[in-house]
Amino acid sequence: MTASNLFSPDDFPVGCMVTDNKRRILYSNHFIEAYSGYSTDNLLGADLFVLLSKASQIMFETYLMPTLVREGRCDEIRLSLVNALDGTLPIVASAQSDDASECILWSISSANRSDQLFEELTETKKLLEQKVSLLRTLSDTDPLTGLPNRAALTHYLDQKMLERKRNGMAFALAFVDLDGFKEINDHHGHHVGDRVLQTVAKRLASNLRSDDLIARFGGDEFVIFLNGQFSHSLVEESLTRLVGKLSEPLTVDGVPLHLSASMGVTLYPQAKEVEPGQLIRQADQAMYQAKLAGKNQVCLFNIDNEASLKERYSELSALQAALASNQFELYYQPKVNMRTGEILGAEALIRWHHPEEGLKAPASFLPALRNTTTGIALGRWVIACALNQLQTWREQGLDLHVSVNIDGYHLQHPNFLHDLSVTLAGFPALPKQRFELEVLETSTIEDIGHVYSVLNACRRMGIRISLDDFGTGYSSLSHLRDLSVDTLKIDRSFVKNMLTSSGDLAILKGVIGFASAFGCDVVAEGVETFQHSQQLIELGCEFGQGYYIARPMPAHAFQAWAAAWAREEFPRSTQT
């Protein structure tokens, strides 16, 4: 016979109670009944506060619950229990949170009379002090994690930087952003996301010193204040260990989750005086660099790069505003069969109508968007806009292909296929084979295997895949070998000098031969003269685009150009 067969909670000489996260009493034993005067049936489902004095209610909200959120338990706290006759009785309570059931487990024992009097006097004194600071305490605490919030961090930084002038103190400030947290929220729900944030807060608190400050800055961002003088190597080593702790596996509601964090850190004091907000921005900028470098790592802020980083942030802000105010437009450059004159389609090329600088080409602003959320958003806009134009042209009687350029970081984004599927669903009548993705061959692709699987999934949807700038990168042949593509585009740099350079002419012949061997179409970019077009036709490349055919044009001008090309331009060009 086991102990569980011999005893029940009603046999224990202490109170046993279970409450949920809304303070509802789910269970209480006979000790609670005898001590409070309330029957267990009456307590079932009641608010815990019916058993607590006003002072104990305040203690519960301002101390006990934040401690439970932060540490998972709170031991031997003195409270006052209100019995059924409206009398108060002193108790000693211990509480422990149970993450699995989202409940709080309580043990309650009695305190003697002298302890009660002392506790009430002490509690009264605390209440007088708390009345002054209660509102500030509540406004400075993040309710989800129990950590100080952004307002508390700002106040703390102000104080510490004032102390610097008196005692020469030093510190490090780290900005933490979780990698992949949005996907956890999207796939598993915000309740799981909240549990993840609470776990992260506990991991941060348990792996830092007691005199360091951790604040929840907002969303999945945290800021860490590390007291003391640090060298670059020491702070990087310490925070790298912390990044490792945050990336350890965690399970929420039986679901295994994978998480990591990117950190940026800056040191204080600095050669020039800085404001508290500037320190936070420095750490934030360094964190952004850690994201760009591959995530799950620490990056130190480089003061020498601050001017260029400010310039990039300013440019990004301008581009975000441009996207929000519809300043972008797609121009279209035709692709034709240079032998027959047939218009095959058009390549969509983005332009920025800058309010002060006029029409800007993509090379002047796209590099600033690389690996940014704004860049991803602009890519989604380009695809949706091109599909909409393709549908409009089909309704006008123009049966064309439309292609858009896609960079490697778009293809590597975890939501690319989902976002593309949602966008395509908005054009159910559109033949998917009329839409083409032109993959930049020279793009920096970190996970080429993942990109191949994404592109193959696109082909299964019916979308055509083109390999752009073919021949300019060292991996051209391996891409062609491992990835099924529909079209190779010969880079304009080879076409430009083909009439005078035997080397470029040899490369062109090779690329055309590769396309034939792998069953791909081949399109030459940069066709600028009649001689270029004729030489390409002789080599076996009939498809081309370039200034000789047409410059990129707004969508509204395309139909008029197509009519003129069929009526006048193509017949005249073949006779030049």
Question: How confident is the model over 114-124, as pLDDT tens digits?
Answer: 456 566 667 77
Q: Rounded mean pLDDT of the chain?
A: 86
Q: How far apart are CA 325 and CA 320, in angstroms?
A: 9
Q: Are 93 and 107 in contact (CB under 8 A)?
A: yes
What letter does residue 18 receive in the DSSP assignment?
E
Looking at mean pLDDT, say which of 90-104, 293-307, 479-493 comes out highest. 90-104
Cα gap 242→387, rounded to integer Å: 46
* 488 shares a domain with 379: yes
pLDDT tens digit string along 494-523?
898 888 888 888 888 888 888 888 888 999
Predicted confidence (pLDDT) at residue 473 exceeds the cutoff of 60: no
pLDDT of residue 491: 85
Q: Which of 115, 139, 163 is the last residue of a domain?
A: 139
Distance CA 481, CA 498 (A): 26
Which residue range is the domain that position 94 belongs to?
3-139
| Confidence class for position 309, pLDDT limits 50, 70, 90 | low
pLDDT-derived band at 358 (thresholds 50, 70, 90) equals very high
| Alpha helices in 355-484, H assignment, sequence order | 366-369, 373-395, 408-411, 416-425, 448-461, 476-482
Same domain as 258, residue 135: no
Residues 168 and 216 in one domain: yes
Percent of the chain with pLDDT over 90: 46
Residue with tokens 């035709």: 334
Which residue do the tokens 């001590």 mark?
35
pLDDT of residue 136: 54
Q: Considering only residues 98 and 471, tell me which one the structure prediction assigns the higher pLDDT.
A: 98
Task: Single out the residue in 139, 165, 190 at which a domain terminates.
Answer: 139
Span 241-280, pLDDT tens digits: 999 999 998 888 888 998 899 999 999 888 888 888 889 9
Asked, for residue 175, whether it belongs to a domain, the answer is yes
Q: Which of 11-29 are b and which e, b meaning 16 or more Cβ less than 10 Å from the residue's Cβ?
A: eeebbbbbbeeebebebbb
Tell the burial category of 45 from Cβ atoms under 10 Å away from its Cβ (0-12, 13-18, 19+). Answer: exposed
Q: Are residues 107 and 165 in the same domain?
A: no
Q: Report CA 264 to chain centroid distance, whole Å.
A: 16
Residues 126 and 166 in one domain: no
pLDDT of residue 95 exceeding 90:
yes
pLDDT of res. 114: 45
Mark whether 89 and 177 lie in a shared domain.
Answer: no
Segment of 314-328, 429-443, 446-460 carrying the highest mean pLDDT: 314-328
Residue 525 maps to a domain: yes
| pLDDT at residue number 445 | 60
pLDDT at 470 over 50: yes
Which CATH number characterizes residue 123's domain?
A: 3.30.450.20
| Same structural domain, 335 and 202 | no
- With 0-12 / 13-18 / 19 or more C-beta atoms within 10 angstroms meaning exposed / middle / buried, residue 282 is buried
Same domain (yes/no): 297, 321? no
What's the CA gap between 167 and 298, in Å, rounded?
Answer: 29
Instruction: Cite the DSSP H helix spans in 39-175.
Output: 40-43, 54-59, 65-71, 113-139, 150-167
Q: Are residues 263 and 373 in the same domain?
A: no
- Do the Cβ atoms of 489 and 469 come closer than 8 Å? yes
Q: What are phi and psi of 269, to 5 degrees?
A: -80, 170
pLDDT tens-digit profile of 159-203? 888 876 667 778 999 999 999 898 898 888 889 999 999 999 999
Q: Is the pLDDT of residue 226 over 70?
A: yes
Q: Look at residue 86 in the predicted model and tell me its pLDDT.
A: 77
Cα torsion 314, 320, 325, 328: sign: positive
Residue 32 falls inside a structural domain = yes
Whether residue 93 is found in the same domain as residue 212: no
How sure is the predictor about 442, in pLDDT bands with cuts at 50, 70 and 90? very low
Identify residue 360 by its one-letter amino acid code: K
Number of domains within the chain: 3
Torsion 373-376-382-384 (CA) sign:
negative
Query: Is residue 54 in a domain?
Result: yes
Residue count of the chain: 576
pLDDT at 508: 87
**pLDDT given for residue 1 in this prediction:** 43
For residue 73, list its beta bridge partners. 96
Mean pLDDT calculated for residue range 116-143:
66
Whether the pLDDT of residue 27 is over 60: the answer is: yes
pLDDT of 400 higher than 70? yes
Compute the C-alpha angle 488/528/515, nearest 5°: 15
The yes-or-no verdict on residue 447 having pLDDT over 80 is no
Looking at the structure, tell me whether residues 135 and 219 fall in a common domain: no
CATH number at residue 259: 3.30.70.270
Asked, for residue 308, whether it belongs to a domain, the answer is no
Q: Do 402 and 479 belong together in one domain?
A: yes
In a domain? residue 36:
yes
Whether the predicted pLDDT of 303 surpasses 60:
yes
Judge whether residue 306 has pLDDT over 60. yes
Q: Within 10 A of 324 (CB to CB), how many other CB atoms are there?
A: 10
Residues 121-144 have a mean pLDDT of 68
Instruction: Note whether residue 144 is domain-resident.
Output: no
Q: What is the CATH number of the domain that holds 331?
A: 3.20.20.450
Boundary-marking domain end, from 82, 104, 139: 139
> What is the average per-residue pLDDT within 311-332?
89
In a domain, 458, yes or no: yes
Q: In this structure, what token pair is assigned to residue 268? A: 């204080």
pLDDT above 80 (res 2): no
